[in-house]
Chain A
Amino acid sequence: MVDWQGIERSAEFRELVRRRRRFVVPATIFFLAYYMGFILLAGYAPDFMGESVYEGLTVGYCLALTQFVMVFVLGIWYLRKADREFDPLADAAVEAAADSDEKARFTRSTPREEEVTR
């Protein structure tokens, strides 16, 4: 049996959760706000969105392009951060649990060995 609660409370696991949240929560709030801001402008300020930046290129189309850029940048950023930061932390949390698990098994087995020798 894996001691899930033990891992959940371990320093390594808390560090993983803390670091991932520190990235994912603000990133999620940011992209939802940026996207809904764009949608709100499209809904409530159609004239502004239809204004020309240069000839047939409108404010709306330019802002739409920034949404694409946002998706690509956040996607790559998260991928790099997860590969370099979160994955090693997750491995560390699992390894630490395996280490303490072995120790636990060792301490548990001691009395039984005594019984056998007796």
Chain B
Amino acid sequence: MTLFAEVNVEALVMATIILAITLGITYWASKRATSAVGFYAAGRQITGRQNGLAISGDYLSAASFLGIAGLIFLYGFDGFLYSIGFLVAFLTVMFLLAERMRNAGKYTIADVLSFRLNETPARAAAALGTFAVVTFYLIAQMVGAGVLIEKLVGINFTFAVILTGVFMLCYVIFGGMVATTWVQIVKAVLLMAGIFTMSVFVLAKVGFNPIELFNRAEANTTAESTFSLAPGTYLPEPLDTVSLGLALVLGTAGLPHILMRFFTVPSAKAARSSVVWAMFIIGFFYLLTTFIGFGARAFLGQGGVEAAGTGGNLAAPNLAAFLGGGEGTFGGDLFLAAIAGVAFATILAVVAGLVLSASAAFSHDIWSSIVRKHRDSEHEEVLVARIAAFAIGFIAITIAVIGGSGLNVSFMVGLAFAVAASANFPALLLALTWRRFNTAGAITGVLFGVVSSIFLVIVSPKVWPGADSVTGSPIGWDLSNPGIVSIPLGFLGCWLGTMLSREQPAERTFDELFVRSETGLGAERALEKVS
């Protein structure tokens, strides 16, 4: 086992620069993340525009950047379908949750869910939803990180995973939400600059005429290629497409690491403007990914498929090398290194956000509220959050290293979105808007959502290697995406649990939650600015 297989020196330098910048941020942030509000919510001093950038940095994973560009390169239009779902999802977040979360919550989504319900079971249910989403998302990101860094920088998979994990833990443990936010902002700026530069280079090659780009991409389709300007190549089953579309558009509104970002701004007004900033940044980003994906097809062609690796993940870096003058030339290596550095920053920012949201769910919801019944000090809660972050990170690193680069993670991001849409989203939405909703409803809803999504993914043909391998599922289930069944089941669980139970009225009423969430009366305040 060699540590450095074929090191790309420029890429290594680029990665080192990025690591140095983020460590600097963490050192600066460490003094501001000692209190609970500092550690979990950056003192609620992040402005709307900064939070918009940070949401983009939190949301646009390597799967968005390299994955979607790769899917468009391999399959054409179907890759773009993901982008549309990821973007439109922010309307769900804005209209239904963002401001209400900010007004009624403190640090975690459980604060909102348990506001007027029986605290212990409601927090446990919310924490279960958070852990389920973060586990699948984090393992997918860690394995993806190892594979990409191995290919791009040239360091061995295991070492790449550990390196990513150690830096992720540094940001979260020492810098809390302050460091995580600024790492995400820096990443968002780097990512936008990188993809914008690449798009300009791509468009320059076709005289700044995108239609010429589509023509050339289509001209590069051969008999054995799967690429098409029409849908149906990557997602041939129409019902599966619909199921995926539903999970994408509702899932973002149930992602704990995204919702947690709304606690970092001073007011609901800032939360609202941060969603609109995020919409424009993310929308612009996804428009540009089509130029990268179609550009890769137009210039690398069918011959580039093998070099692009599994899922076409390396299509974007390979295109960068081509645009810079080809692999081996100074320009080509430099451009490749820059894109590799951007991809590295992208991964770090996303995993840090995920670990922070899971550690908050453990310390704030499970430890402080359920185990210690609010008798613990603030100092203890933050200390437990740091220890929890370490444990969660350690487990994720271990699973990724043991699973190795061959671990099938392609279904895991989809599963994370399905759980978020089927368990977290229905419970949160109904807790905020349905007067009758009660604790039993929240528990059955989250359980229905989590169990049905995981079960349907386990028996799906992608995961279950059946005896005859043509129809893989043991129960004849042939959808890869569970959303179309699991989302209605999540809502049904909430409704059934509510209707079949009687509950003593809680201390805090629906009236209080409703008035607070709509007006912001009594909402958590920002810390005074210390500069």
Contact = CB atoms under 8 A, between A and B. Distances in A.
B279 A71 contact: yes
Interface of A: 2, 4-5, 7-8, 13, 16-17, 20, 24, 27-28, 31-32, 35-36, 38-40, 42-44, 46-47, 49-50, 54-58, 60-61, 64, 67-68, 70-72, 74-76, 78-79, 82-83, 87, 90, 93-94, 97
A20 B433 CA distance: 13
B509 A4 contact: yes
If over half of B's interface residues share one DSSP class (helix, strand or loop), that class is named, otherwise mixed; here it is helix
Given A36-B242, A79-B273, 11 more contacts: A4-B512, A4-B515, A4-B516, A13-B519, A42-B232, A49-B230, A56-B218, A60-B231, A61-B77, A67-B87, A72-B280
B275 interface: yes
B487 to A, nearest CB: 12
5 contacts: A5-B511, A43-B239, A43-B241, A61-B80, A61-B214
B123 interface: no
Contacts of A78: 94-95, 272, 276
A38 B39 CA distance: 41
Contacts of A71: 87-88, 90-91, 279, 283
Interface in B479-511: 509, 511
Given A5-B511, A49-B231, A87-B269, A72 B279 contact: yes
Q: How large is the interface on B (under 10, 10 to 19, 20 to 34, 35 or more residues)?
A: 35 or more
A9 to B, nearest CB: 8
B276 A76 contact: yes
Q: Nearest 10 A-B pairs (CB), nearest first?
A: A50-B230, A56-B214, A43-B238, A39-B245, A43-B241, A46-B232, A4-B512, A56-B215, A8-B511, A90-B519
A93 B519 contact: yes
A41 B85 CA distance: 14
Contacts of A31: 88, 91
Interface of B: 77-78, 80-81, 84-85, 87-88, 90-92, 94-96, 99, 210-218, 228-232, 235, 238-242, 245-246, 249, 269, 272-273, 275-276, 279-280, 283, 286-287, 290, 509, 511-512, 514-516, 518-522
Contact of B518 (A17, A28, A46, A60): A17
A43 B283 contact: no
A68 B289 CA distance: 14
Contact of B88 (A43, A67, A76): A67
B104 to A, nearest CB: 12
A8 B283 contact: no
Contacts of B213: 56
Contacts of B242: 36, 39-40, 43
Between B90, B213, B515, the greatest number of chain A beta carbons within 10 A of the residue's beta carbon is seen for B515
Given A43-B241, A56-B215, A79 B272 contact: yes
A40 B88 CA distance: 15
A29 B131 CA distance: 31
A2 B276 contact: no
Contacts of B272: 78-79, 82
B47 to A, nearest CB: 15
A60 B519 contact: no
Contacts of B87: 67-68, 71
A79 B241 CA distance: 31
Nearest to B215: A56
A72 B239 CA distance: 28
B511 A4 contact: yes
Contacts of A87: 269
B94 A75 contact: yes
A68 B521 contact: no
A58 B230 CA distance: 8
Given A36-B245, A74-B91, A79-B272, A50 B214 contact: no
Contacts of A49: 77, 230-231
B88 to A, nearest CB: 5
B88 A35 contact: yes
A99 B279 CA distance: 39
A61 B246 CA distance: 20
A52 to B, nearest CB: 8
A34 to B, nearest CB: 9
Nearest to A39: B245
Nearest to A89: B519
B290 to A, nearest CB: 8
B519 A38 contact: no
Given A28-B95, A56-B217, A39 B90 contact: no
Contacts of A47: 230
A75 B231 contact: no
A12 B54 CA distance: 35
A46 B76 CA distance: 12
A75 B245 contact: no
A35 B84 contact: yes
Contact of A16 (B241, B512, B519): B519
